[in-house]
Amino acid sequence: MNEDFRNVYRELADDARNYSDPERALAVGHRRRRTMLAAPALAVAVAVVAVGTWVTLRPPIPTGTPGNQTTASSPVPTLSPPPNAPALPPGAVGRASFAYAGCRSGCPGLAVVGDRQFIIPGQERNPGSSAMLLSLSPDGRWLGYPAGDSYVVRDLTGTRTMAFPPSETGRRMAAWVWSADSKRLLVGDFREGNDNTYTLVDVLTGGRTPAVIPAARTPLALTNEGEVVSRARDQQPEPVRVLTLTVSAIGDATGRSVAIDASAILARSESLFPGSVLVHPDGGGYLLGVGTADGISTGVLRVAADGRVVERVVDVPRDNREFWNVLGVNGDGLLLSRQTNAGRQATTVVAVTGRALRDLVALPHESIVAVPGASAR
């Protein structure tokens, strides 16, 4: 790998970790596209993001605890945007398996419901860029998407729609993170800078509660009980071997600390990624990305609610022709993506089942993907 490639790739990895702050998503996306034009070799960089967790998984080194995952070789369905997809109609259409845009720029966002694909409202006006802010609840019932400066969350199994206008002109709204049981959503009201405000939404009742999150902290995840998991905005020296999270009730500006010490399981050159925290599908603990100190990810850890590292959930296969990302979680477990740059190019959604990797569906090569439980930011 030449030095120019290494430097630009490291910049992309740093950009990826900035997607934990949605107000930077569109600007980062535009900067990434300019960088890609300047460095054609980086056309393999993956455009898939998750809630607070856009983690590039391309392990170039042995990891602390090698996994034994294998990738299923059975044929995987291939999905492409239809030439004339219908608009998402009002009313019940059914739970979505995921949402995506078939390219980084110029492609509308699509919701996939069974074997049907629907253009998400507003995506025809600002395709590609606004697709970065799409969101799905872990159960696939609730779809979130930008509507101008506002944000809309609608029930795909019924008729309910919730609108979230910004507090003032010049601000934007976005879905920040879902609880694992799909009952709660943290919505952010933001503007470039650190003056974000947040609201906890009970999607079943429509109730909205202002969330007290100090400006010095970044929300990363939401528990089934409605507690916010956050970290300090201040950057820790790298490599990060110990990460301290704060878990707090909506009205509590203090909360309790959870220290994650991964020193014993990380290789010498590995680091925790402070921005890559997901609540485990069963609600008991977290999933946390790890990688090298310069931003190249190598795997995912399972962490108990008290901060104890339980296991190394996954190490991705070693293949320099493939680039991996953490997408998020649904009701069954962790979902990854694999972008292949050899032979038939594709972005494949991959499920982690036990110690095996199972291909679910292949999408166009540079797709932006929002799987259940994650926002495509």
Instruction: Flag whether pLDDT at 302 surpasses 70.
Output: yes
Residue 376: which residues within 8 A CB-CB, separation 6 or more? 48, 49, 50, 99, 100, 101, 131, 132, 133, 134, 135, 368, 369, 370
Q: Look at 44-58, 158-172, 175-189 and tell me which has the smallest mean pLDDT.
A: 44-58
Query: Which of the four pLDDT bands, split at 50, 70 and 90, describes residue 21?
Result: very low
Residue 310 is predicted with a pLDDT of 95
User: What are the tens digits of pLDDT across the range 258-284?
Assistant: 999 999 999 888 889 887 888 888 878
Strand order in the sheet with 197-202: 172-178, 184-190, 197-202, 208-211
Query: Which of the four pLDDT bands, split at 50, 70 and 90, describes residue 128?
Result: low
Instruction: Flag whether pLDDT at 71 surpasses 90.
Output: no
Residue 246 is predicted with a pLDDT of 93
Residue 32: which residues within 8 A CB-CB, separation 6 or more? 12, 15, 45, 47, 104
- Interior CA angle at 216 toward 211 and 217, to 5°? 55
Query: Which of the four pLDDT bands, split at 50, 70 and 90, describes residue 127?
Result: low
- Percent of the chain topping pLDDT 70: 73
- Name the β-bridge partners of 301: 288, 312
Instruction: Flag whether pLDDT at 187 surpasses 80.
Output: yes
Query: Which of the four pLDDT bands, split at 50, 70 and 90, describes residue 312?
Result: very high
pLDDT mean over 54-67: 36
Residue 209 is predicted with a pLDDT of 95
Query: Which of the four pLDDT bands, split at 50, 70 and 90, describes residue 228?
Result: very high
Question: Rounded mean pLDDT of the chain?
Answer: 76
